Chains A and B, each alone.
Chain A
Amino acid sequence: MSNFTSLRPNYFDIDDIMAQTQRVPCIFNIDVDGLGTDSMSESTTVSRNTRLALPFWMADKLNEEEVVDMEAPKAFSKRAKRMFGASSVHVDMHNLCPYFYKLGGKIAEMDPELPDVLGGVFMERIQMLADAAQRSHAQDVADFVSQLDETEKKCKQ
Chain B
Amino acid sequence: MALSAHQKIAFTPAELQFLAENEPITIVPTRHIEKLELISGSYGPFNPPRKAQVPLWLAAMLKSSSYCRIVPPSWMDSENLEKICNSEEQPESRFSNLPPYYIIVASILFECAEDDIPEAQSIRRLLQDVGEIRQGKVREGLKYLNPAQLQMDNLSMAEINQIRPLFKGAFNMLSSLADLKRQAPFEADESQYSQMNTNSSLMH
Q: Which residues of A line the B interface, CB within 8 A?
A: 1-3, 5-8, 101, 105, 108-109, 112, 114-116, 118-119, 122-123, 126-127, 129-131, 133-134, 151, 154-157
Contacts and interface: CB of A to CB of B under 8 A. Distances in A.
A155 B169 contact: yes
Nearest to B168: A2
A33 to B, nearest CB: 34
B180 A155 contact: no
B184 A130 contact: no
14 contacts: A1-B8, A5-B169, A5-B170, A105-B180, A108-B180, A112-B188, A114-B180, A115-B177, A119-B174, A122-B174, A123-B145, A127-B139, A155-B166, A157-B169
A94 to B, nearest CB: 17
Contacts of A157: 5-6, 9, 165, 169
B176 interface: yes
Contact of B184 (A108, A133, A154): A108
A151 B168 contact: no
B172 A115 contact: no
Contacts of A112: 184, 188
Contacts of A119: 174, 177-178, 181
A6 B129 CA distance: 36
Contacts, number: 89
B188 A6 contact: no
A132 to B, nearest CB: 10
A110 B5 CA distance: 36
A109 B180 CA distance: 9
Given A109-B183, A118-B180, A155 B173 contact: yes
Contacts of A123: 143, 145
Contacts of B176: 6-8, 105
B163 interface: yes
B180 A2 contact: no
Contacts of B172: 2-3, 5-6
B132 to A, nearest CB: 12
B175 interface: yes
B195 to A, nearest CB: 16
Most buried by A among B143, B166, B187: B166
Nearest to A129: B166
Nearest to A108: B180
A130 B177 contact: no
